[in-house]
Structure 1
Amino acid sequence: MIGVIVAQSAPPPLRVYSQLVLEGVRLALQEHGRGGGAPIELVVLDDSGRAERDTALLRELERRGAVGVVGPLLSSGLALVAGARQDSALVFVSPTASNPPRSANVYSLNIPDTRGAEVLAEYALATGLTRVGLLYPDKPEWRRQARAFAESLERGGGEVPVEAPYDSGTTTFGPPLRRLAAAGPQAIYIPAPERDVRQLAPQIAYYGLDQLGIQVLGNETWVDDDVRRLVEPRFLNGVIASTPLVRASSEVRWQEFVALYEGAHRRLLNNPYPALGFDAVNWILSALPPNGALAHELAERLASGEPLRGATGILHARNGEVVRRPFLVRIQDGDLQPVEDAGAASPPADSSAAGR
């Protein structure tokens, strides 16, 4: 049995997110059944968006024999159930928690993409970009990507001559961009949210960094549809970015999922939440043996299993957390051009069961 803990009766927007995640969960189970998979019991419980209710819901799922759980959606609820489990082998996969606890067999599909930062640093070294500056918001998720990039670069013999963290909410980037230019890097890596990228990209040209021949390297935000729609192409041309999802690629299931979702619900898919629910269940299903599994068997198979071709990317476990295979792309006139197959640089799944 697979349990689901969502927030169906919470105030919006959490209630809306819960409904969208559930739509993806149910599509995954329907597809599993149509493909001849063994029947799977699904038990959906509602915590109303109140983390303090999750321990009681956990007890019900344990009593009913759950081997894996999708949810809770909030990081606070995920932390509570991680610590309250009677058996630490019980797997939790949250589609949306942004700050999951450091706990065995507890995963989230919504953590920052650090593997992409590592692969982008490897690409920089391979192309002779050994001096790379860092520009990022001074917040945990962006610091994490910046640190992953810097550590990978330095392991390969490169250096970070300057770091320029900035306060979240900054709109004028003159001071940090001048600091970066003065340090003389060959490239700058900028992991930042969509709002910042839309303002930063034109200012890189305004402050003359493009005239200095400095290569811009970016995280997945740089390839976001809204960024490429709202920012003039000339300010994005030539940016090399790492992203876990190229929606047009046949290597992932995004297009298949869009067709499946829109066919089932007769409306456009305009956000990622159903796909996250879809991938969370499918990742659990991918590790279930044909004759079912005990919790510890599922945990071991998830931690060491083969990558899953999902709607939100190619997923596997590494060092106890879910990572997605990076795609390296170049932005040119609003289009994404493949740079290389970054998958060759991705390590095999880690065998540890400790995780996020």
Structure 2
Amino acid sequence: MIMSKRGFTATVGRRCGLTLILILALSIAAACPAFADENTPAVDHYAIGCILPLSGRNAAYGNRALDAVLLAAGVFNAAKETPIRVLIEDSQSEAAVAGAAVEKLARAGVTCILGPLGSQEAFEAAKEAQRLKIPILTLTQREGITEVGDHVFRNFLTAAMQVRTVVQYAQAELGLRRFAILYPDDPYGQEMARLFREEVRRKGGEIRKEKPYKADQTDLGEEIRALGGVAPASPGMEVSAGFPPKPDPGFEALFIPDFSYRVAMIVQQLAYYDITGIRLLGTSGWDSPELLKADPGHLQGAVFVDGFFINSFRPEVNDFIEAFYTAYGREPDTMEALVYDAADIAVKLLLENRGETRDAFRRGLTQIKGYRGVSGKTSFPASRDAQKDLFILTVKDGRIVQVK
């Protein structure tokens, strides 16, 4: 599929019309002399390749990501003409197909590639892009993806990025040094706990206690008591004046790397077992209205992070939300914000470099410092793995609000 600004007449926000235009553009492009000889393909210096799972098990994510790419490419901006063209390949949610799509886009002459989303898809595409020396900006959480080679970049929200931000804020801004971890005993929870443990110790803090729980567990009484929780007094029990005060659990903050609906349940149980007066720390999985199903008083002052915040006070975020809603009739989420920024970076580089070579584009990515996007400020260090100033969030008076 190919999409460019010229000739776009589909009704804004209507995917059926958009698909027809994409198919029509593809048939027209087949007759383009620039792509006629596959052995010596001409490079279209304003062409961005895009590999997304538009079918298969991850199709819902891929189609939402495509919305973000097209918005960044200026498809819906009738007031501004652009030479940017987006060539779209469906990975079908399969790694082998994603790898083959890279070669197909290379023959089509794209300057750079965005995607894919999935871990294995991104890895196969990255290997092929490195072999063909085409810069690829991957959209995956897979750790180590940029180690494939110097043409492989990533712009996405990772576990390590979240943990670094949470620990930095907890120690530098809140002055916390003693931590505990309560985590689900599954791959996500184990990885988050490992990263948190390592980052706290690297920064000179202490991990006082750790306790895993089963991912489907609903009663965490035993685990919470192991952290220092105490069972409530029996009904009718008299508490004497000499009754010992609530014991100190031995830590100042508790990190819970789980998702909002489970955190809401866990927080209620922490209060039941008198684990109160500590700072609760979390990940992007907390950023949902479901979190507030817990008593807001138990969440007051909790700190967590995300790569996007729909109620941000940043003007660029508000502008993005308005444009996205106008185009698609719905609000964007974190994934769409990250994909939008990746596409916007690519578009801006191609326009600023006035259609230079693939290698010039690769060098341009390495020089991006402090790009102010809708998913926070972004820079590409030597590792080519985007560094982001994530949104730091808290709960205040029963609402999720942005701290910085």
TM range (shorter): 0.7 to 0.9
CA contact (8 A) 1:252 1:313 kept: no
| Structure 1 counterpart of 2:103 | 59
| Structure 2 counterpart of 1:225 | 289
Structure 2 residue corresponding to 1:120, chosen from 166, 175, 184? 166
| Structure 2 counterpart of 1:134 | 181
TM-score normalised to the size of structure 1? 0.81
- What is the aligned-residue identity percentage? 25
| Structure 2 counterpart of 1:206 | 272
Structure 1 residue corresponding to 2:218, chosen from 151, 155, 171? 171
CA contact (8 A) 2:308 2:337 kept: no
Shift of 1:88: 6.3
CA contact (8 A) 2:106 2:132 kept: no
TM-score normalised to the size of structure 2? 0.73
Taking a change above 3 Å as real, the CA distance of residues 58 and 337 of structure 1, as seen in their structure-2 partners, is closer
CA contact (8 A) 1:3 1:43 kept: yes
Taking a change above 3 Å as real, the CA distance of residues 227 and 35 of structure 1, as seen in their structure-2 partners, is farther
Taking a change above 3 Å as real, the CA distance of residues 286 and 145 of structure 1, as seen in their structure-2 partners, is farther
CA contact (8 A) 1:253 1:313 kept: no
Q: Which amino acid aligns with 2:339?
A: G
Note the alpha carbon deviations across 1:160-214, whole angstroms, 9 max, x for none.
Answer: 112223332222222222222275112212222233212212111112101xx32
Q: Which amino acid aligns with 2:163?
A: A
- 1:3 and 1:259 mapped to 2: Cα distance? 26
- 2:287 and 2:59 mapped to 1: Cα distance? 29
| Structure 1 counterpart of 2:384 | 320
SS of equivalent to 1:241: strand
- 2:81 and 2:198 mapped to 1: Cα distance? 43
**Greater displacement, 273-282 / 127-136:** 273-282
Structure 1 residue corresponding to 2:227, chosen from 174, 177, 180? 180
- 2:380 and 2:315 mapped to 1: Cα distance? 17
| Structure 2 counterpart of 1:308 | 371
CA contact (8 A) 2:84 2:347 kept: no
| Structure 1 counterpart of 2:91 | 47
| Structure 2 counterpart of 1:353 | none
- 1:273 and 1:187 mapped to 2: Cα distance? 29
Taking a change above 3 Å as real, the CA distance of residues 197 and 107 of structure 1, as seen in their structure-2 partners, is farther
CA contact (8 A) 1:261 1:269 kept: yes
Taking a change above 3 Å as real, the CA distance of residues 142 and 256 of structure 1, as seen in their structure-2 partners, is farther
Taking a change above 3 Å as real, the CA distance of residues 30 and 337 of structure 1, as seen in their structure-2 partners, is closer
Taking a change above 3 Å as real, the CA distance of residues 78 and 220 of structure 1, as seen in their structure-2 partners, is closer
| Structure 1 counterpart of 2:35 | none
Q: 1:99 aligned to 2:142? A: yes
Shift of 1:65: 2.3
Greater relative CO (CA pairs within 8 A, separation 6+): 1
Task: State how 1:238-249 maps to structure 2 within 5 Å.
Answer: 238-249=301-312
CA contact (8 A) 1:113 1:244 kept: no
How many residues were matched structurally? 333
Q: Which amino acid aligns with 1:151?
A: E
- 1:37 and 1:314 mapped to 2: Cα distance? 27
Taking a change above 3 Å as real, the CA distance of residues 187 and 56 of structure 1, as seen in their structure-2 partners, is closer
Shift of 1:322: 2.6
Shift of 1:311: 2.9
Structure 2 residue corresponding to 1:284, chosen from 346, 357, 365? 346
Structure 2 runs not aligned, ≥5 long? 1-46, 230-248
SS of equivalent to 1:162: strand
Shift of 1:338: 4.8
Q: 1:26 aligned to 2:92? A: no
Shift of 1:121: 2.0
**Greater displacement, 272-281 / 183-192:** 272-281
Shift of 1:232: 2.9
Q: Which amino acid aligns with 2:265?
A: Q
Structure 2 residue corresponding to 1:5, chosen from 47, 51, 56? 51
CA contact (8 A) 2:371 2:379 kept: yes
Shift of 1:271: 4.3
Taking a change above 3 Å as real, the CA distance of residues 88 and 194 of structure 1, as seen in their structure-2 partners, is farther
CA contact (8 A) 2:310 2:333 kept: no
Larger Rg: 2
- 2:71 and 2:374 mapped to 1: Cα distance? 12
- 2:220 and 2:384 mapped to 1: Cα distance? 36
- 1:145 and 1:327 mapped to 2: Cα distance? 18
Q: 1:72 aligned to 2:99? A: no
Taking a change above 3 Å as real, the CA distance of residues 107 and 207 of structure 1, as seen in their structure-2 partners, is farther
Shift of 1:261: 1.8
Shift of 1:108: 4.5
Note the alpha carbon deviations across 1:94-122, whole angstroms, 9 max, x for none.
Answer: 44x34363423434444434334223323
